Amino acid sequence: MKKHSSLLLFLIALFFGCAGPAQAAEKHHAIAMHGEPKYPAGFLHFDYVNPGSPIGGTLRLSDIGSFDSLNPFLLKGVTPRGLSDVYQTLLERSRDEPFTLYANIAEAIEVAPDRSWIAFHINPKARFSNGTPITAEDVLSSYETLREQGRPNVQLYYRKVTKADILSPLSVRFAFEEEGRFEMPLIMGLMSVLPKSELLETSFDKTSLTPLIGSGPYLVEKIEPGRRIIYRRNENFWGWHLPQNKGRHNFGRIIYDYFRDDDVALEAFKSHNIDARFESNAAKWTASYGWQSGAEYKRSTPKLSIPAPMLAFVFNTRHKKFADLRVRKALTHAFDFEWVNANILHSLYKRTHSFFENSPLAAKGIIKDAERDVLSPFADELPEAVFNDAFSLPKTDGSGRARVNLKIARQLLLSAGYKIKDGILTHQETGRPFEIEFLINNTDYVKMISPFQRNLELLGIQSNIRQIDTASYQNRLTEYEFDIIINSWGQSLSPGNEQAFYWSRNAAETPGTRNYPAIRLAAVDAMIEQIATAQDRATLVNAARALDRVLLNGHYVIPLYYTDEKWLAHWPEIKLPAVPSYWGTSADLWWYEKDS
């Protein structure tokens, strides 16, 4: 009997892809990428909400451009803002932790100790907006559809699933391939769930202005194609009792009006036809809202506690002229950030000094022993500065003359084999003049490039700006056909598999990735692997700092600027919680309340 019992247990473990008792798992209300969740089982609400916020009112927001699709799960088409409130994911992310997900559609989860699989147990109360229960078959069908027809990044991740099984009408289990598996349970937890019946009946891969059925707190009430979309709060939403929804999704209606021009959208706000707007233009934030004249609307500047995007001039090192580190350092010295910040950016920004700026992941000061240990095997391919110096960017007095920095730049270019001939910087061996084309699709960048061009001209470098339409620009980026672009890489407090898409040697050789500089270093690949497989926070932080140090000292980009706050203008009846999340603030946290 004992033999038969053992055999039965083995077959059960084999069927579920487990290795036996060592793979047993308990049910949990949350999963953190590293460490323990902040909020215990039975918590009442997130700390960054107002749990007593009133319900009702209308929030009128704006966006620029247009929309032609209501399917946010495809790369095709342009979707309107706000659709994320129509759909729900298996688990819900908190915004005051690096990466932790809480029970949502799935009321409980089981995870293998080695993260080789995760099982989601669906809340029996979970319903789609048409009242039908959410089942394991809906989850499996959503996974299969998104894996085959969803956005490219979603397809990439979901293809790491080696097996998907329905365990019961309300339970589904996903097993993962070994590479990158530590993050996969959380990635699957962020999967949106759609009805199987609709997926079978709908041409999912075609854009449509008919919304898919969701299970979220809002419904699409009305659209004026390309011009306006109105969302209505779903009073029958099944999840109002869940703690993560306490104090959120308070407006009875949310309206997005679309404008062709941001200046027109700004005037619509000032005339009180729009209730709130985030501003990203420093000149407008400083001068266009009439703060000095006692305007009735308010300004809020909630702090951000997430890594600031790396906005930067990007060198394409596939081109020989940028392959030399000395050339890249020289051009970095030719950019006068202090003058640009004072004269163009209204001194509202800070200089970016890290690919993980404004976070504990940023490399600061001289290299730490733990970073040195992981980078030492790659010393032969790395600049000595990685191990010996604290990274810093050149500074000026902001006068625009930058004589000292330009002198350093000339010396670097001379050492790289260039000389001035008839006022033009020329390579001594090839006789070719040094010429640069700045490729852009955004007119605002011209103001940033023009003062840079003046300094380049003093070095004998000829340059021009080429502005092209968005589609042509994307095609050029996909094939890496550019000299210098301005690009932005966003990061999170829990970086993972996406770093390979940004910086790996494989990405450098693959069209359509975001390794625009063509970084090809074994050290970078090794740090990416450590980040993706880190099983504790300390290991991840150390690997991220080491990666940051290598990227910075390679001078693949000229870092530009960031702000550690959001700029929000809003009318007095739109209220915000007192405590911002790591992401600052967003409309799902606000409420409507007239001052008495």
Mark whether 384 and 522 lie in a shared domain.
yes
| Interval 131-141 mean pLDDT | 98
pLDDT tens by residue, 352-399: 999 999 999 999 999 999 999 999 999 999 999 999 999 999 999 888
For residue 239, being part of any structural domain is answered with no
| Interval 438-455 mean pLDDT | 94
For residue 385, being part of any structural domain is answered with yes
- pLDDT recorded at residue 257: 97
3-state SS of 400-429 is: CCCHHHHHHHHHHHHHCCEEEECCEEEECC
**Taking all residues of the chain, what is their mean pLDDT, rounded to a whole number?**
93
pLDDT tens by residue, 302-340: 999 999 999 999 999 999 999 999 999 999 999 999 999
E strands of 429-576, at which residues? 435-440, 462-467, 484-489, 557-559, 561-562, 568-570, 574-575
Of the three residues 141, 169, 201, the one that is the final residue of a domain is 201
**Domain count along the chain:** 2
- Residue identified by tokens 């490039």 is 449
pTM for the full predicted model: 0.85
pLDDT tens by residue, 62-72: 999 899 999 99
For residue 263, being part of any structural domain is answered with no
Q: Which domain holds residue 480?
A: 310-562
- pLDDT recorded at residue 596: 52
What CATH number is associated with residue 195? 3.40.190.10
- Name which residue leads in pLDDT, 482 or 156: 482
Distance from C-alpha of 488 to C-alpha of 10, rounded to nearest angstrom: 51
- Separation of CA 523 from chain center: 24
Going by C-beta distance under 8 Å and a sequence separation of 6 or more, which residues neighbour residue 215? 87, 88, 105, 126, 127, 128, 129, 134, 193, 237, 238, 239
Whole-Å CA distances, 236 to 170, 233, 354, 426, 542: 21, 9, 46, 71, 47
For residue 298, being part of any structural domain is answered with no
What CATH number is associated with residue 492? 3.10.105.10
- pLDDT recorded at residue 295: 80
Distance from C-alpha of 87 to C-alpha of 106, rounded to nearest angstrom: 14
Contact 196, 137 (CB under 8 A): yes
- pLDDT recorded at residue 24: 54
